[in-house]
């Protein structure tokens, strides 16, 4: 296996969380474990945007591979799969919330016109979706 090289540990973390839905996946699962369909509805409700199964599945699988998300399969009919954060994923969620707070401060003091859709506080509470 080839060695992946990064200049700093933060570059490695950024490579893990870079992805359209990864921060939202991490923050959502940090609130409660979810099945795939629940997670998809949650993200679609936040962004008012359709999420493709291909991209969401790829990003979930990457987060599982990176040991940020745990995938638990139950041998039932129909099969049941539940996603949750690993202990490392829970630590990463706290970092993402801190980054969001810092981003809010930067945006507020910026000379540019910056609009943020959600605050760090939104990352700490469940956004209810319609069924």
Task: For residues 74-86, give the mean pLDDT.
Answer: 93
- What is the pLDDT, as a whole number, of residue 50? 87
Sequence-separated (6 or more) residues with CB below 8 Å from residue 108: none
Q: Is residue 2 part of a domain?
A: no
pLDDT band at 45 (very low <50, low <70, confident <90, very high): confident
The number of folded domains in the chain is 1
Q: Is residue 4 part of a domain?
A: no
Chain segment 5-37, per-residue pLDDT in tens? 999 999 999 999 999 899 999 999 999 999 999
Global pTM? Answer: 0.86
Say how many CA atoms lie within 13 Å of 28 toward its Cβ.
25
Q: Is residue 23 part of a domain?
A: yes
Count other C-beta atoms under 10 Å from residue 129's C-beta.
Answer: 13
| CATH number assigned to the domain comprising residue 61 | 1.10.10.10
Strand-pair partners of 69: 85
pLDDT band at 125 (very low <50, low <70, confident <90, very high): confident
If we measure between CA atoms, which residue out of 91, 71, 89 comes closest to residue 79? 71
DSSP characters over 14-71: HHHH-SSSHHHHHHHHHHS-EEHHHHHHHHHHHHTS---HHHHHHHHHHHHHTTSEEE
- What is the pLDDT, as a whole number, of residue 131? 43
**Domain span at 78:** 9-123
- What is the pLDDT, as a whole number, of residue 91? 96
Give all strands of the β-sheet with 34-35 in edge-to-edge order. Answer: 34-35, 80-85, 69-74
C-alpha to C-alpha distance for 47 and 110, rounded to whole angstroms: 24
Q: Is residue 46 part of a domain?
A: yes
pLDDT over 60 at 130, yes or no: no
Q: Is residue 14 part of a domain?
A: yes
- What is the pLDDT, as a whole number, of residue 118? 79
C-alpha to C-alpha distance for 1 and 87, rounded to whole angstroms: 26
């Amino acid at each position: 296996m080839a060695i992946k090289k990064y200049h700093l540990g933060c570059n490695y973390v950024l490579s893990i969380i870079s992805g359209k839905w990864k921060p939202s996946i991490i923050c959502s699962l940090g609130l409660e474990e979810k099945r795939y369909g629940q997670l998809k509805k949650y993200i679609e409700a936040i962004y008012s945007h359709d999420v493709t199964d291909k991209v969401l599945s790829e990003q979930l699988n990457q987060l599982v591979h990176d040991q940020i998300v745990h995938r638990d399969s139950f041998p039932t009919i129909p099969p049941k799969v539940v996603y949750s954060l690993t202990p490392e994923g829970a630590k990463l969620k706290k970092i993402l919330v801190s980054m969001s707070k810092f981003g809010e401060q930067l945006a507020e003091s910026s000379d540019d016109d910056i609009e943020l859709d959600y605050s760090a506080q939104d990352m700490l509470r469940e956004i209810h979706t319609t069924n």
